[in-house]
């Protein structure tokens, strides 16, 4: 199981930071367990690692097998909670660079923005390849994926004909309602469900994440088993519960004036896990004028760009470091008889040793510079550990939101830009807003 080291934050925390929050944490635990706190209708993710649809899980595995056998590329269309979790897990367990650790089939993500050129590049890349689509949208009406789906569905039908294209489109959406549900029913696409009680940013362990993740060759049973392990451990109340400690520490640091939490990774493949984490915490806590701003950095690369600010800029930061203790490989630093670069004192040492000292040195420097460091210690970069990390951060996020006094399971602010965009695009029903916005622009 993961470990949490708070020793490099202790000088910034009062003695009673945890004990003074135990009552509120217990209330939060009960609200999550009994689904009766604010947003309780969207806490279906709490027991998801064991209470999931086993029949659907088998269908996900079968669909993944088919896609692996008949496609060079899977185009995964979705945005936000219907996108980030799958990419986070696929990259963290593989590589940030497709060329270095190619998935077979390759997975490309579309519909997560509105860039014409990015879409065009992918369209060119698909030329001459066999491919399939997984369209993911709970509402079925989100503009970015809906537009992308129109385009890629058209191309797929052009290539294979309507009948065969139908067999290459997999729709993950609401069980009962929405535009995508209607279309999937009418066309006869294979369908997977975003459960009613699970919001987008908590949905990675549903078909939303699991189908693309399985297509990438990840063992989704081991992923679920890892998350179930974390669920069992973190459900137990008490001061030694690491989700309680993490939620309490970040809440205490926020109360003490910190306003930005940087998630720190040392693996390039961790980048999209950090993007997933930012959505999780940003959408869950950033409301009512409250909340730590979630941001992320990749060390040691960003020590040469953001390092200056972290060390000496505004003292508003805390860092949460996710540390993987084992590399998958060993690379030893060679000896150089000329020693022109003066690095022979490292000859024969594993690169991992150098990385560890960089991590330790950075941590102490940042603490000396006034940045508390919370360290989540993970073991290997494998399915089990990643399942634990997902559940740990989700559960701690639910606790954190309740400690902060917000509803961690809604996202009313996301609507504001959508309404303006619909109005400016001329969607019927938005005529008045359109005129008002145009006048301002
Ligand atoms: O967390 C959320 O609710 C959002 O990020 C959604 O996941 C995102 O807007 C996509 O929504 P949908 O799946 O309905 O297309």
Ligand 1 probe mutation, 41, 87, 135, 139, most atoms within 8 A of CB: 139
C-alpha distance from residue 9 to each of 257, 317, 408 (Å) = 14, 12, 25
Residue nearest to atom 2 of ligand 1 (CA): 200
Mean pLDDT confidence for 409-417: 88
Cβ–Cβ under 8 Å, residues 246 and 396: yes
Checking if the pLDDT of 103 tops 90, the result is no
Task: Name the active-site residue from 283, 298, 383, 394.
Answer: 283
Closest by CA to 366, choosing from 278, 294, 273, 297, is 297
What pLDDT digit, counting tens, does each position of 179-228 carry? 999 999 999 999 999 999 999 999 999 999 999 999 999 999 999 999 99
CATH architecture, domain defined by 48-218 = 3-Layer(aba) Sandwich (3.40)
Euclidean distance between CA atoms 115 and 45, whole angstroms: 32
Atom of ligand 1 nearest to the CA of 78: 15
Range from 99-103, 118-122, 388-392, 433-437 carrying the lowest mean pLDDT: 99-103
Tell me what the mean pLDDT of segment 288-305 comes to: 97
Show Cβ contacts of residue 167 under 8 Å, excluding neighbours closer than 6 positions.
none
Residue 304 annotated as catalytic: yes
Q: Strands of 373-378's sheet, edge to edge?
A: 3-5, 373-378, 317-324, 260-265, 293-298
All CATH 3.40.50.10490 domain ranges of the chain, comma separated, are 3-34+224-408, 48-218
At CA 190, angle to CA 418 and CA 109, rounded to 5? 45
Residue with tokens 């309740």: 402
* CATH architecture group of domain 3-34+224-408: 3-Layer(aba) Sandwich (3.40)
Q: What is the pTM of this model?
A: 0.96
């Amino acid at each position: 199981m993961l470990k949490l080291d708070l020793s490099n934050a202790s000088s910034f925390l009062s003695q009673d930071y945890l004990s003074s929050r135990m009552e509120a944490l217990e209330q939060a635990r009960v609200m999550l367990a009994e689904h009766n706190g604010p947003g309780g209708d969207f806490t279906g993710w709490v027991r998801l690692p064991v209470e999931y649809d086993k029949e659907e899980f088998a269908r996900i595995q079968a669909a993944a097998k088919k896609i692996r056998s008949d496609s060079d590329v899977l185009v995964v269309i979705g945005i936000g909670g219907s996108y980030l979790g799958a990419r986070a897990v696929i990259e963290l367990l593989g590589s940030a660079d497709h060329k270095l650790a190619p998935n077979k089939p390759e997975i490309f993500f579309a519909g997560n923005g509105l860039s014409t050129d990015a879409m065009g590049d992918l369209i060119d890349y698909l030329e001459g390849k066999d491919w399939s689509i997984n369209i993911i949208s709970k509402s079925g009406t989100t503009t970015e994926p809906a537009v992308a789906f129109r385009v890629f569905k058209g191309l797929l039908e052009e290539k294979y004909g309507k009948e065969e294209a139908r067999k290459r489109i997999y729709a993950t959406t609401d069980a009962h309602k929405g535009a995508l549900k209607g279309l999937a029913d009418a066309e006869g696409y294979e369908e997977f469900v975003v459960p009613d009680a699970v919001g987008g940013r908590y949905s990675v362990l549903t078909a939303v994440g699991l189908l693309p993740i399985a297509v990438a060759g990840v063992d989704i049973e081991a992923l679920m088993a890892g998350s179930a392990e974390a669920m069992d451990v973190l459900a137990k109340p008490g001061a030694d519960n690491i989700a309680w400690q993490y939620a309490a520490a970040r809440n205490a640091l926020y109360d003490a004036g910190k306003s930005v939490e940087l998630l720190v990774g040392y693996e390039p493949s961790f980048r999209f896990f950090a993007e997933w984490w930012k959505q999780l915490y940003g959408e869950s806590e950033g409301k009512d004028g409250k909340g730590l701003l979630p941001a992320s950095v990749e060390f040691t690369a960003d020590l040469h760009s953001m390092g200056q600010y972290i060390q000496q800029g505004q003292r508003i930061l805390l860092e949460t470091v996710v540390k993987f203790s084992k590399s998958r490989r060993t690379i030893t630093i060679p000896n150089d008889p000329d020693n022109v670069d003066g690095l022979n004192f490292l000859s024969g040492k594993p690169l991992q040793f150098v990385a560890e000292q960089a991590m330790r040195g950075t941590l102490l420097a940042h603490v000396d510079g006034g940045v508390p460091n919370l360290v989540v210690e993970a073991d290997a970069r494998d399915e089990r550990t990643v399942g634990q990390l997902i559940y740990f951060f989700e559960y701690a996020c639910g606790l954190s939101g309740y400690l902060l006094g917000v509803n961690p399971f809604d996202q009313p602010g996301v609507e504001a830009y959508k309404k303006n965009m619909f109005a400016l695009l001329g969607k019927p029903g938005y005529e008045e807003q359109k005129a008002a916005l145009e006048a301002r622009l």
